[in-house]
Amino acid sequence: MQQKQVHYSDYLQLEKILDAQTLESDLLKQHAHDEMLFIVIHQAYELWFKQLLYEIDSVAAIMQKPAVNDNSPELQTVVHRLNRMVTILKVLVHQIDIMETMTPMDFLDFRDMLRPASGFQSWQFKLVEAKLGLKYQQRHGQEYYISQLRQEQIDIIRKVESEKSFIELLNAWLERMPFFEEAENWKNYKSVAGTPAAAAAMKNGPFWTDYRHIYSAGLAEAEQNNLQYFDQVFSDGPFSTGELVLASREGQGEARQLSPRACRAALFIMLYRGYPILQLPFQLLNSLLEIDEQLSTWRYRHMSMVHRMIGTRIGTGGSTGRDYLKGALDKHYIFVEIARLTSFLIERRKLPVLSPEMEKRLGFVG
């Protein structure tokens, strides 16, 4: 088969891409040099947002299978693409440096011509957040956010919010972790030789009972309230209804998105990450924390940049600019429940030793 000839310009549809910059200041016959930069950088952001959405969709498609086959490359693909998202986000953070080459005076030259357009109208960015797991109720400034979008864009986001988000797929995946049922009830692990304190803390009850004892024994006096928090995060019963509201880091209540069982599975992965079958799951959890951290750094630098650009004046979209962004900063963490599990780790040398049977289940045929 003779394949058709592909040319770079056609392939990339450059006539569209490079003909999509029309300066408002030119239309108004008051050419403002820096408006081109303003357009190009936002277009570059939107291109990358499209790529992020594409990657999220592809990993969600894998995660929503009834079972992710550990013997297939599927999980590897998920981790690889999440890491790519991290790499993209790092460049997006760096890109703010370019925006900062526009001085406030240069922005003023065309700023008023853009009203009421504003970056808040980037529905693609809101989709990224929604697909990962940010719910409408968790958003800062909900009414404002709605007021900024067109109905068709709101509809798209609403639809996504009503579907399974990545964090919900993650929850289901963690809950159905193979071998884990066993681990939970299993009583045949033993304490590490030579750490009498850990041994003393173990009662050889079910895994989590004993883990709680060891954890509790290691807490400083000022940290005892962490134990209550431990129970809240890991204990079934009242919490299994999914209605639990955790005390968030910011003192506000917040609905949990990961069940106690899923949290136990995630902590287990962190604790025993060295076993072959847990290596990719551990990388997956890490990638999610990286994504949150990069998104958060992006919001933070974006906020600083807006403050530097317009100070205490209101944004082109009518927002109070920096204040809106500041509100979002604390509330838009998506995988915060994973991040918090760090509080519940114990020293490796105190870890209950798994039985040979269990070890075998976590390993290769060899």
Stretch that binds its own copies, among 135-143, 204-212, 237-245, 289-297 (CB under 8 A): 289-297
Question: Is 39 annotated for ligand binding?
Answer: yes
Stretch that binds its own copies, among 137-145, 161-169, 259-267, 312-320 (CB under 8 A): 312-320
Please count the residues of this chain forming the interface with its own copies, following the rule CB under 8 A. Answer: 123
- Residue whose tokens read 């780790």: 345
Neighbour-count burial for 164-187, b at 16+ CB within 10 Å, e otherwise: bbbbbbbbebbbebeebeebeebe
Q: In the structure encoding, which two tokens stand for residue 257, read together? A: 């998105």
Query: Which residue, 50, 53, 13, 21, is CA-closest to 38?
Result: 21
Question: Is 42 annotated for ligand binding?
Answer: yes
Question: Is 101 annotated for ligand binding?
Answer: no
Question: Is 158 annotated for ligand binding?
Answer: no
**What span, in angstroms and rounded, lies between the C-alpha atoms of 184 and 196?**
23
- Residue whose tokens read 């960015």: 125
Query: Which residue, 225, 171, 24, 196, is CA-closest to 110?
Result: 24
Q: Does 234 bind its own copies (CB under 8 A)?
A: no
Interaction residues for its own copies, span 12-51 (CB under 8 A): 12-14, 16-22, 24, 30, 33, 36-37, 39-40, 42-44, 46-48, 50-51
Q: Does 360 bind its own copies (CB under 8 A)?
A: yes
Q: Does 245 bind its own copies (CB under 8 A)?
A: no
Contact in structure between 115 and 146 (CB atoms under 8 Å): no
Q: Does 117 bind its own copies (CB under 8 A)?
A: yes
Integer-rounded Cα Rg, in Å, for the chain is: 25
- Single out the residue of 65, 94, 187, 203 in contact with its own copies (rule: CB under 8 A): 94
Q: How far is the CB of 253 from its own copies (least distance, A)?
A: 16
Q: Which is nearer to its own copies, 16 or 243 (CB)?
A: 16
Q: How far is the CB of 353 from its own copies (least distance, A)?
A: 14
Q: Does 5 bind its own copies (CB under 8 A)?
A: yes
Q: How far is the CB of 273 from its own copies (least distance, A)?
A: 7
- Single out the residue of 26, 114, 136, 154 in contact with its own copies (rule: CB under 8 A): 114
Question: Is 41 annotated for ligand binding?
Answer: yes
| CA quadruple 15, 20, 22, 23: dihedral sign | negative
- Single out the residue of 181, 182, 231, 359 in contact with its own copies (rule: CB under 8 A): 359
Interaction residues for its own copies, span 179-218 (CB under 8 A): none
- Single out the residue of 147, 216, 300, 355 in contact with its own copies (rule: CB under 8 A): 300
Contact in structure between 203 and 291 (CB atoms under 8 Å): no
Q: Which is nearer to its own copies, 3 or 137 (CB)?
A: 3
Q: End-to-end distance of the chain based on CA atoms, in angstroms?
A: 44
Q: How far is the CB of 63 from its own copies (least distance, A)?
A: 15
DSSP 8-state class, residue 204 = S
Interaction residues for its own copies, span 325-354 (CB under 8 A): 339-349
Q: Does 147 bind its own copies (CB under 8 A)?
A: no
DSSP 8-state class, residue 5 = P
Q: Which is nearer to its own copies, 187 or 313 (CB)?
A: 313
**What span, in angstroms and rounded, lies between the C-alpha atoms of 313 and 93?**
24
Q: How far is the CB of 43 from its own copies (least distance, A)?
A: 5
Question: Is 307 annotated for ligand binding?
Answer: no
**What span, in angstroms and rounded, lies between the C-alpha atoms of 259 and 263?**
6
Q: Does 158 bind its own copies (CB under 8 A)?
A: no
Q: How far is the CB of 203 from its own copies (least distance, A)?
A: 23
Write the DSSP assignment of 280-340 as a string of letters.
Answer: HHHHHHHHHHHHHHHHHHHHHHHHHHHHHHHTTSPPTTSS-THHHHHHHHHH--SSHHHHH
Binding region: 38-42, 111, 302, 316
